């Protein structure tokens, strides 16, 4: 019997198993997933976390199944999205789903397509996906989960021996690392800040997955600086407010009201931009469907035909920014012609002439788009506070509140559907970048621009919190629980005042007893807290090192080829060792995805499953065991 061991059992791992089973990997075959957390959900989506924590995707936008849109070599095996799964459970057509938690069952019963589900409900969906995939495994294929942690892996004559923390040894002919997001050893700056905080008697929570962070260290009434305003910050705010007994309710005028429990700390939020991530879009397209106009396959082919590396900032970002302009204005002019002074046919010709010239574009838009909120500017989208300066904390706080109100209006009201077009445009652009081979990017692009600059911009624009979370921010501000500090926040430790936050564009400073650095730590394999991942980086594989005139250094990610094979330290791919996930050099694609979007994650998973199946077939043909 051929043995496949998968290190990890979260969404990526079980989606890989489904793809292997769909391809009917050669039997007899034993597949063992090793993870301390249950299969499907893994650590991040585990059921045992606060019911207040949610996905930032609507129930209709979550699936783990392939569908007719997928351009993959493996078989299509369709299945329900999260909302379709919930509807089938409600209808009694999925007898293999039993929800024994009354609160979770109530959520499932009331779930709508536009609901933002809790992570606990997503855990139930992923658990069902895992069990359904295993239940229809072909004859001769055994799939099991071993609850445990891999400590190290040794090469053997026939393959690998996988050593677990509980003393068990597993034999593997083929090995796959699929561990998802992992904690890491703290970076030097974090260690220095932590040591300074301890010396001053302050409370510091370093970067971490928020559900794992100890937020109980903050006492009621403590002043706490929250550095970062992405999804990790949103989760921290939720746990420190509603998670401590505060209650949100609707007023007669529709506005949200927060009633404090008295157990909350006082939160002071700041970040580089100084504003929260843009809310998820709930409007629907009303004009012509999105069409790729600038960052086209032909444009990508032209870039690849040039000699030398492709640079994100110099070569791709200008095209991407122009594509966003076209996406916004196409929807505005075709979906809301009453709000513009000319036709789309006329304005698109103007765009062909001026969309690469920011000043000319602003003048052209102002001439035919009367409402400033209908005009689009990529720089203003990314930095809504512009170059503004503020006289003090009160002024910057009020300015951020106005921005949040405007953002909610732009991204949730039907008449502002250009925000939906912008979302779809940036999503298609994300997929389009996958057509550029990894090795063609410049070193700076691979090290900084793609994983940091582009990923941060994409997340800020397209992967922000549900709109009701920003409504909660407004209510918390009105209740005196939350204050905004402004842009370009820096924090230092003062022996007398504690943590002191300041902005170069805001007069005055804010001091606090506590500090939360609200973001995920970098995915650096060699510094991971996971011993198997550290060993993979230092022994079986290697971290990617890039060097050219733009940048020299390590990416902190495991080097893999296009089919997920781990590149050994001698530069050759390992025939029977694979890796998939955010710790690899492959383009980050997430795990589950939107239905009917030909998602990059499903394409990657199917491609790697094909390579794993081929490796298993080769081992079986060689007569192993």
The last residue of one of the domains, among 432, 462, 492, is: 462
Q: Is 24 helix (H, G, I), strand (E, B) or coil?
A: coil
DSSP annotation of 54: B
C-beta pairs of 315-320 under 8 Å, 24+ apart in sequence:
316/433, 316/436, 317/449, 317/454, 318/356, 319/294, 319/295, 320/294, 320/295, 320/429
CA distance 466 to 214: 24
Number of domains in the chain: 3
pLDDT tens per residue across span 487-527: 999 999 999 999 999 999 999 999 999 999 999 888 899 99
- The answer to whether position 350 is within a domain reads yes
CA distance 181 to 200: 32
DSSP assignment string, 429-476: HHHHHTTS-GGGB-HHIIIIIIIIIIHHHHHHHHS---HHHHHHHHHH
Tell me, yes or no, whether 151 and 199 share the same domain.
no
DSSP assignment string, 114-148: T---BHHHHHHHHHHHHHHHHHTPPTTEEEEEEES
Closest residue by Cα to residue 213 from 460, 581, 519, 466? 519
As a whole number of Å, the CA-based R_g of the chain is 25
Scan for tokens 């060792």, then name that residue.
Answer: 577
Closest residue by Cα to residue 575 from 533, 623, 540, 534? 540
- The answer to whether position 415 is within a domain reads yes
CA distance 101 to 84: 20
pLDDT tens per residue across span 283-338: 999 999 989 999 999 999 999 999 999 999 999 999 999 999 999 999 999 999 99
Tell me, yes or no, whether 25 and 90 share the same domain.
yes
- Distances in Å between the alpha carbon of 357 and those of 350, 353, 362, 363, 478? 11, 9, 9, 10, 41
Tell me the residue range of the domain where 393 lies: 297-462
* CA angle (545, 546, 547) in 5-degree steps: 130
Listed as ranges, residues in the chain with pLDDT below 70 are: 624-625
Tell me, yes or no, whether 174 and 195 share the same domain.
no
- The answer to whether position 545 is within a domain reads no
Tell me, yes or no, whether 144 and 12 share the same domain.
yes
Scan for tokens 């099991």, then name that residue.
Answer: 144
Scan for tokens 């078989």, then name that residue.
Answer: 75
Q: What is the pLDDT of residue 192?
A: 95
- The answer to whether position 157 is within a domain reads yes
CA distance 439 to 309: 8
Tell me, yes or no, whether 262 and 380 share the same domain.
no
- The answer to whether position 52 is within a domain reads yes
CA distance 323 to 321: 5
Q: How many CB atoms lie within 10 A of CB 504?
A: 10
Q: Compute the Cα dihedral for 79, 11, 121, 39 and give only its sign.
A: positive
Q: How many CB atoms lie within 10 A of CB 49?
A: 21
pLDDT tens per residue across span 463-495: 999 999 999 999 999 999 999 999 999 999 999
DSSP annotation of 391: S
CA distance 217 to 219: 6
Tell me, yes or no, whether 110 and 211 share the same domain.
no
- The answer to whether position 304 is within a domain reads yes
Residue 16 in tokens: 């890989």
Tell me, yes or no, whether 226 and 241 share the same domain.
yes
- Distances in Å between the alpha carbon of 576 and those of 1, 55, 141, 247, 567? 16, 35, 19, 53, 11
Closest residue by Cα to residue 504 from 276, 192, 270? 270
Q: Is 528 helix (H, G, I), strand (E, B) or coil?
A: strand
| Cβ atoms 123, 44 nearer than 8 A | no
The last residue of one of the domains, among 431, 462, 493, is: 462
- What is the CATH classification number for the domain harbouring 54? 3.50.50.60
* CA angle (193, 197, 202) in 5-degree steps: 145
- What is the CATH classification number for the domain harbouring 220? 3.50.50
Tell me, yes or no, whether 78 and 111 share the same domain.
yes
Scan for tokens 């409600």, then name that residue.
Answer: 90
Tell me, yes or no, whether 28 and 159 share the same domain.
yes
Q: Which residues have CB under 8 Å from 90's CB, separation 6+?
A: 108, 109
Q: Is 544 helix (H, G, I), strand (E, B) or coil?
A: strand
Q: What is the pLDDT of residue 523?
A: 81
Closest residue by Cα to residue 625 from 178, 176, 177, 170? 170
Q: Where are the alpha helices (DSSP H) in 146-256?
A: 188-200, 231-240
pTM above 0.85, yes or no: yes
For the CA atoms of 104, 242, 234, 60, the dihedral, rounded to the nearest 10 degrees, stands at 30
| Cβ atoms 482, 237 nearer than 8 A | yes
| Cβ atoms 576, 615 nearer than 8 A | yes
CA distance 205 to 232: 12
Question: Strand 247-250 vs strand 256-259: parallel, antiparallel, or unpaired?
Answer: antiparallel
Tell me, yes or no, whether 422 and 509 share the same domain.
no
- The answer to whether position 315 is within a domain reads yes
Give the N- to C-terminal CA distance of the chain in Å, as an integer: 6
- The answer to whether position 553 is within a domain reads no
Tell me, yes or no, whether 227 and 369 share the same domain.
no
DSSP annotation of 313: I
Q: What are phi and psi of 224, to 5 degrees?
A: -130, 125
Q: What is the pLDDT of residue 624?
A: 52
Tell me, yes or no, whether 171 and 203 share the same domain.
no
Burial (Cβ within 10 Å: 0-12, 13-18, ≥19) of residue 225: buried
CA distance 502 to 504: 7
């Amino acid at each position: 019997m051929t043995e496949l061991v998968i290190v990890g059992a979260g969404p990526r791992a079980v989606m890989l198993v489904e793809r292997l089973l769909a391809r009917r990997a050669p039997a007899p075959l034993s597949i063992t997933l090793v993870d301390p957390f249950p299969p499907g959900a893994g650590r991040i989506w585990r059921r045992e976390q606060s019911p207040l924590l949610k996905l930032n995707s609507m129930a209709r936008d979550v699936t783990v199944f392939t569908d007719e849109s997928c351009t993959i070599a493996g078989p299509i095996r369709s299945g329900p999205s999260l909302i379709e799964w919930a509807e089938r459970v409600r209808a009694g057509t999925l007898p293999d789903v039993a929800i024994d938690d009354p609160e979770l069952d109530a959520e499932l019963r009331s779930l709508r397509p536009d609901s933002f589900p809790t992570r606990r409900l997503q855990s139930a969906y992923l658990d069902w996906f895992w069990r359904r995939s295993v239940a229809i495994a072909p004859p001769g294929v055994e799939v099991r989960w071993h609850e445990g942690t891999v400590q190290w892996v040794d090469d053997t004559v026939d393959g690998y021996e996988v050593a677990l923390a509980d003393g068990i040894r597993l034999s593997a002919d083929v090995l796959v690392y699929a561990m998802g997001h992992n904690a890491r050893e703290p970076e030097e700056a974090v260690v220095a800040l932590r040591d300074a905080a301890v010396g001053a008697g302050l409370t510091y929570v370093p970067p971490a997955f928020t559900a794992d962070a100890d937020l109980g260290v903050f006492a009621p009434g403590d002043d706490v600086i929250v550095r970062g305003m992405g999804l990790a910050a949103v989760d921290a705010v939720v746990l420190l407010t509603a998670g401590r007994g505060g209650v949100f309710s609707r007023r007669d005028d529709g506005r949200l009201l927060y009633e404090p429990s008295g157990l909350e700390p006082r939160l002071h939020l700041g970040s580089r931009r100084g504003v929260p991530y843009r809310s998820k879009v709930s409007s629907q397209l009303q004009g012509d469907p999105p069409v790729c106009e600038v960052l086209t396959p032909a444009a990508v082919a032209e870039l690849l035909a040039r000699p030398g590396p492709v640079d994100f900032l110099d070569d791709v970002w200008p095209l991407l920014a122009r594509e966003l302009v076209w996406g916004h204005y196409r929807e505005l002019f075709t979906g809301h012609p009453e709000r513009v002074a000319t036709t789309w046919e006329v304005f698109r010709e103007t765009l062909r002439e001026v969309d690469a010239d920011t000043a000319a574009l602003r003048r052209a838009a102002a001439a035919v788009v009367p409402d400033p909120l209908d005009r689009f500017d990529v720089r203003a989208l990314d930095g809504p506070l512009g170059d503004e300066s503020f006289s003090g904390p009160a002024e910057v706080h009020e300015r951020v509140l106005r921005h949040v109100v405007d953002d909610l209006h732009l991204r949730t009201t039907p008449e502002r559907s250009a925000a939906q077009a912008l979302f779809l445009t940036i999503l298609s652009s994300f997929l389009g970048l996958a057509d550029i081979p990894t090795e063609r990017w410049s070193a700076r692009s691979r090290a900084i621009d793609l994983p940091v600059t582009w990923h941060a911009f994409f997340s800020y624009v397209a992967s922000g919190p549900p709109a009701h979370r920003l409504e909660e921010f407004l209510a918390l501000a009105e209740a005196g629980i939350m204050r905004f500090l402004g842009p370009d926040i820096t924090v230092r430790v003062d022996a007398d005042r504690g943590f002191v936050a300041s902005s170069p564009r805001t007069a005055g400073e804010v001091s606090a007893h506590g500090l939360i650095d609200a973001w995920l730590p970098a995915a650096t394999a060699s510094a991971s807290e996971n011993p198997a991942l550290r060993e993979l980086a230092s022994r079986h594989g290697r971290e990617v090192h890039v060097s050219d005139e733009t940048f020299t250094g390590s990416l902190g990610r495991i080097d893999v080829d296009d089919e997920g094979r781990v590149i050994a330290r001698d530069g050759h791919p390992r025939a029977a060792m694979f890796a998939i996930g955010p710790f690899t050099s492959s383009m980050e694609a997430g795990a589950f995805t939107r239905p009917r979007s030909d998602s990059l994650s499903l394409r990657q998973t199917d491609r790697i499953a094909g390579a794993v199946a081929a490796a298993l077939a080769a081992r079986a043909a060689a007569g192993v065991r």
